[in-house]
């Protein structure tokens, strides 16, 4: 693009535009041409592109672009509930709320934002939310795009309530893949998981890396902090690094469920896979004044880069 990193103005590379509902969205760009878009609606990352302009996140061609519904794709935020495991609406309310730009967020300890395009968003408990979830909170999200194209999301939830509360959480990450039957996940083998297709019963993953030949809706428990999603056909690997997010939800609706979702194409299950850094089995508990941080970093590398260099535990394979 004719810019060198040394003179690249990261502030100027952060642009506010409008999304399909006329709602502000933030465009983040890097000198080499990677980009990401974040809508203030739900703080949903709706696009992440590499330096060649190729989209890396899935969005359904049938997605319904009508607030307050979250669109089918990108990275919706599930908070303060994942799935239907509580009294709230599926995946909680944060993905359906309007977030604000946080002009002056409290500093993020140990986080170096130099050389990154980033935006800070904030969601505070509203009176309406207090009716169904009576806890005052502040939820801050930083979305940062590094010069090498890595996308980082840092969530901070603070209890500003007089009493403790607990919540579950997920970055519901819709990865765009070439063909689901060519995909395998490394890093979850031998773990225990809760299977949503069997009333959340607990099983132990057997054998090798995870591959896909039917519907999958699972929560892998106490997972390592680095997971790789290998796309054999594209010869590239999504690397998911996480902190404060012990669980990994894995979802592909496959053929039958795809047909039952109005905002999802019948064949689109072949091009997507949700792999979510999450806190589900043991919800986060915060005392008054306490704060929780959950960090997710997404990268794409050529498949030849894996797995030893990523430090994945290959023992037993």
Ligand X SMILES: O=P(O)(O)OC[C@H]1O[C@H](O)[C@H](O)[C@@H](O)[C@@H]1O
CB count in 10 Å sphere of residue 278:
26
Residue 41 within binding range of ligand X, rule CB under 6 A: no
Give the nearest distance from C-beta 316 to ligand X in angstroms.
28
- With contacts defined by CB under 6 A, name the span among 4-12, 39-47, 83-91, 221-229 that binds ligand X: 83-91
Give the nearest distance from C-beta 112 to ligand X in angstroms.
32
CB count in 10 Å sphere of residue 249:
24
Give the nearest distance from C-beta 105 to ligand X in angstroms.
28
Give the nearest distance from C-beta 270 to ligand X in angstroms.
17
Residue 125 within binding range of ligand X, rule CB under 6 A: no
- Helix/strand/coil for 130: helix
- Cα torsion angle, 208, 220, 268, 229, sign: negative
Give the nearest distance from C-beta 126 to ligand X in angstroms.
21
Q: Which residue is nearest to ligand X (CB)?
A: 251
Size of the site for ligand X (CB under 6 A): 8
Could you give phi then psi for residue 304, rounded to 5 degrees?
A: -65, -15
Residue 46 within binding range of ligand X, rule CB under 6 A: no
Closest CB to ligand X among residues 61, 90: 90
Which of 31, 83, 92, 277 touches ligand X by CB under 6 A?
A: 83
Q: Are 98 and 41 in contact (CB under 8 A)?
A: yes
> What would the DSSP string read from start to end of 254-316?
HHHHHHH-TTS-TTGGGGEEEEEEEEEEEEEEE-TT-EEEEEEEEEEEEGGG-SGGGT---TT
Which of 249, 284, 286, 298 touches ligand X by CB under 6 A?
A: 249
Distance from C-alpha of 183 to C-alpha of 268, rounded to nearest angstrom: 15
Q: Are 269 and 260 in contact (CB under 8 A)?
A: no
Closest CB to ligand X among residues 209, 248: 248
| List of residues contacting ligand X (CB under 6 A) | 83, 90-91, 196, 217, 249, 251, 274
């Amino acid at each position: 693009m004719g810019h060198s990193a040394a003179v690249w103005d990261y502030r100027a590379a952060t642009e506010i535009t409008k999304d399909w509902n006329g709602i502000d969205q933030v465009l983040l760009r890097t000198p080499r041409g990677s980009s990401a878009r974040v809508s203030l609606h739900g703080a949903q990352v709706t696009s992440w592109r590499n330096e060649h302009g190729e989209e890396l996140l899935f969005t359904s061609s049938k997605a319904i672009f009508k607030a307050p519904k979250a669109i089918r794709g990108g990275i919706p935020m599930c908070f303060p509930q994942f799935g239907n495991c509580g009294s709230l609406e599926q995946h909680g309310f944060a993905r359906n709320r309007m977030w604000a730009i946080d002009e002056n967020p409290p500093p993020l300890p140990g986080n170096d934002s130099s050389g990154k395009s980033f935006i800070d968003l904030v969601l505070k408990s509203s009176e309406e939310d207090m009716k169904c979830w009576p806890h005052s909170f502040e939820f801050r999200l930083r979305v940062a795009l590094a010069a090498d194209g890595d996308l980082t999301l840092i969530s901070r939830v603070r209890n500003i309530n007089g009493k403790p509360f607990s919540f579950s959480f997920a970055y519901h990450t819709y990865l765009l893949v070439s063909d689901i039957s060519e995909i395998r996940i490394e890093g979850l083998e031998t773990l225990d998981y809760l299977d949503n297709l069997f009333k959340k019963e607990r099983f132990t993953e057997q054998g090798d890396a995870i591959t896909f030949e039917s519907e999958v809706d699972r929560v892998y428990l106490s997972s390592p902090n680095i997971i790789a999603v290998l796309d054999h056909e594209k010869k590239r690997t999504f690397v998911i690094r996480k902190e404060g997010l012990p669980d990994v939800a894995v979802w592909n609706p496959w053929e039958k469920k795809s047909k039952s979702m109005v905002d999802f194409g019948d064949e689109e299950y072949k091009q997507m896979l949700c792999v979510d850094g999450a806190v589900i089995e043991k919800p986060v508990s915060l005392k008054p004044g306490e704060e929780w941080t959950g960090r997710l970093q997404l990268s794409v590398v050529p498949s030849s880069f894996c797995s030893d260099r990523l430090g994945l535990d290959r023992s037993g394979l």
